[in-house]
Amino acid sequence: MERRQFIRRVFGGAAAGLVAPGLVMASSRTSSVNTSSMAGGVYFTEAQPGRWNKKITGHLPNIQVIRNETGTVLKVVTPHEMKAHEHYIVKHIVLDHEFNFIAEQMFDPTKDKAPISEMSVGTYRGVVNVLSVCNKHDTWLNTAEV
Ligand SMILES: [Fe+2]
């Protein structure tokens, strides 16, 4: 299975549930993968932090939407330490409403003081799914409308 297909399967139904719960049910009936059970297990959200329920504040990506003359930029901040390779945020990833890749920013824990990224989504309009990946506490999903 290609990476993009995996991400769509894993995050597609569950993230859609954050926006439109009815879509998750429809998706679950037609998919061989029960994506609704993956939130809190495979990936984590504010509502479903799973085993990391004490880690929400430091791992949920905060999304600021900035409009400019050429389109939209997302400023993403994860309020997390960058303690060299011991504990840090590996990357931020932006996907569209269908979980197509838009942008990502990798972090170097020896150089980046904080996991803050600015990524353009161009003229895209709709829901963006933003992932923040911690090397110890896995992948966290938040969404915004742009
Ligand atoms: Fe962490």
Sequence ranges of the domains in the chain:
44-145
- The rounded Å distance from CA 15 to ligand 1 centre is 21
Among candidate residues 48, 29, 38, 31, the one with its CA nearest the CA of residue 11: 38
- Cβ distance 130 to 139 under 8 Å? no
CATH class of the domain comprising 44-145: mainly beta
- The rounded Å distance from CA 47 to ligand 1 centre is 17
Helix (H) or strand (E) holding 11: helix 3-19
Q: Is the dihedral of CA 145, 20, 47, 102 positive or negative?
A: negative
pTM, 2 dp: 0.77
- The rounded Å distance from CA 80 to ligand 1 centre is 7
**Residues, CB within 5 angstroms of ligand 1 (ion):** 134, 136-137
Torsions phi, psi of 11, nearest 5?
-100, -20
List, for residues 51-99, the tens digit of each pLDDT value: 999 999 999 999 999 999 999 999 999 999 999 999 999 999 999 999 9
Q: Encode burial over 40-58: b for 16+ CB neighbours within 10 A, e otherwise.
A: beebbbeebbeebeebeeb
- The rounded Å distance from CA 123 to ligand 1 centre is 32
